Amino acid sequence: MKYTLVYIMGLLSFLTSCFTGKSRSAPVTDKSMQKESIYNFSIKSLDGSQTIQLSDFKGKYMVLVNTASECGYTPQYEDLQKFHEQYGDSIVLIGFPCNQFGGQEPGTAEAIQNFCQKNYGVNFRMTEKIDVKGESAHPIYKWLCSASLNGSSDFEVKWNFNKFVVGPDGQLLHYFGSSVKPLDDEFLAVFGK
């Protein structure tokens, strides 16, 4: 009788977890199994004068794009600047100069800043030059590209001007390759524009 009662209690517990989705097991305490928040990260600005804290942008969309000054996609700086001018109050745009694709961002921070300002009037946030792939990738890009960190999907930055969109809640929403421009309908649709 005692064993029958234990069996029935175990069966009821199992059936309850099956139908309610609740388990009686202990919560996961291994932090490596839980996704990180994009808001944990920061990065130096291009001129090194300040630290950009991503936590400052809670409640806003973020567009994170790896940039280069000598790429066939470099003219997208013009569209990025227009995008920033139109939507900068609600969407934070951050450019991440990177020299990993064809050596197309060889300049110093000062050279990059002068190029962007002189040729495209860029005044949106630009960060220090970083790596966006491989072992030396900046932690922000490790988060963007790893499902185990972002809780969404794995991605690979394949060239300059890849674009990641993070929602106002800090969730990774979308990834766009280089050929999608910031003023294209499919890009703007993510923001309901």
Nearest to 124 by CA among 40, 21, 45, 7: 45
C-alpha separations of 158 from 32, 73, 93, 134 in Å:
26, 13, 20, 11
Q: Enumerate the active-site residues.
A: 71
Q: CA-CA distance, 150 to 172, in Å (whole number)?
A: 7
Pairing mode, strands 172-176 and 125-126: unpaired
